[in-house]
Structure 1
Amino acid sequence: MSKILDLAKSFEQTSSEQAKDTEQVVATEFKKHEQRLIDLLNENEKAMSNAIQEQNKRLLPTMLKTWGIVAIAIVTALLLMWGILAYQSKKIAQNAEIMAQQQIAIQDLADKGGNIKLQDCIDKKDRKRLCVLVNKDAGSWNNGSLMIPMGY
């Protein structure tokens, strides 16, 4: 029985050594596999990063062109508005000058006694005529056809 016991001990020791060797081989292979996966992930990360950079390089000109068009549109709109404002300012200045001249003419006429009142009258033939109120007390000229208007 000692041979069987020796064989069993020898088998147990051999099995134990084989189990340790197998464990070491599996651990080594697992570490290699793990390192391969990490390397593949790193390569994939680099590839994705490069793809993103390439995409950004392709999109940059399009983005710049788009913003350029927007900037040109804004500048054009501003120039157009400036032109409209300049034109309107010029017209307003011209109209203000005309109004000032008219005001001077009105004041000159008023200073000369030109507060003449005009109104519409209907004659015997039912026609609308422009009438002037006259001052009969001031007299008449040219056989009564000329008279001084009231307010002059």
Structure 2
Amino acid sequence: MSKILDLAKNFEQTSNEQAKNTEKAVSNEFKEHEQRLIDLLNENEQVIKTAIQEQNKRILQTTLKTWGIVALAIIMTLAVAWGALAYQGDRIQSNLDEIATQEARIALLSEKGGKIELQQCIDKKNRKRLCIPMNKDAGAFGNGSLMIPMGY
């Protein structure tokens, strides 16, 4: 019986060693597999980071182009508005100059009888004639044929 006991002990010892060896082999394989997965994950992480960076660069370029176009449109609009305002300002100044000239002429004409009202009259021969009202209160001059017009 001692041979069976020795065989059993020997078998148990061999089984325990095989179990330990199997456990170590499985553990080593598991660690290698785990390391390969970690390496793959790191590689994928790097690929994804690179893709995100490239996408961000494209988005930045697109955004800069868009804002550049918007800024250019705003600048062009301001330039056109400034041109229109400059043109209108020039026109207003020229109109003000013309009004000042006309007011000076009106003042000069007023001094020289510009307030005289001209009317159309029909004479005895049924012709249209230019007439002015006369200020008879001012009297006659010369040989009596000259009089001062109304409004002068």
1:1-150 mapped onto 2 (5 Å cutoff): 1-56=1-56, 62-112=62-112, 114-115=114-115, 134-139=134-139, 148-149=149-150
Counterparts of 1:75 and 1:38 in 2: how far apart (Å)?
Answer: 54
Say if 1:135 and 1:147, in contact at 8 Å, map to a contact too.
yes
Identity, % of aligned positions: 59
Q: Give the Cα separation in 2 of the matches to 1:37 and 1:8.
A: 42
Alpha carbons 1:139, 1:148 under 8 Å: kept: no
TM-score (norm 2): 0.67
**Aligned-residue offset at 1:137:** 1.5
Q: By how many angstroms is 1:68 displaced?
A: 3.8
Cα distance in 2 between the residues matched to 1:2 and 1:145:
175
How much has 1:22 moved relative to structure 2?
1.7
Query: Which sits farther off after the overlay, 5-14 or 58-67?
Result: 58-67
CA contact (8 A) 2:135 2:148 kept: yes
Distance in 1 (alpha carbons) for counterparts of 2:49 and 2:133: 97
Q: Secondary structure of the equivalent of 1:45?
A: helix
Q: 2: distance between equivalents of 1:19 and 1:134? A: 145
8 Å Cα contact 1:134-1:148 kept in structure 2: yes
* More moved, 70-79 vs 2-11: 2-11
Name which of structure 1's ranges 60-69 and 38-47 shifts more when overlaid on structure 2.
60-69
CA contact (8 A) 1:140 1:147 kept: yes
Residues 59 and 76 (structure 1), Cα distance of their counterparts in 2 relative to 1, 3 Å cut: same
Counterpart CA distance in 1 for 2:139 and 2:8 is: 164
Q: Distance in 2 between matches of 1:100 and 1:38?
A: 90
SS at match of 1:95: helix
Alignment-mate amino acid for residue 136 of structure 1: K
Pair 1:146–1:111, CA change in 2 (3 A): closer
What's the Cα RMSD here? Answer: 3.7
Q: Which runs of 5+ in 1 are unaligned?
A: 121-130
- Structure 1 residues 26, 140: CA separation in 2 closer, same or farther (over 3 Å shift)? farther
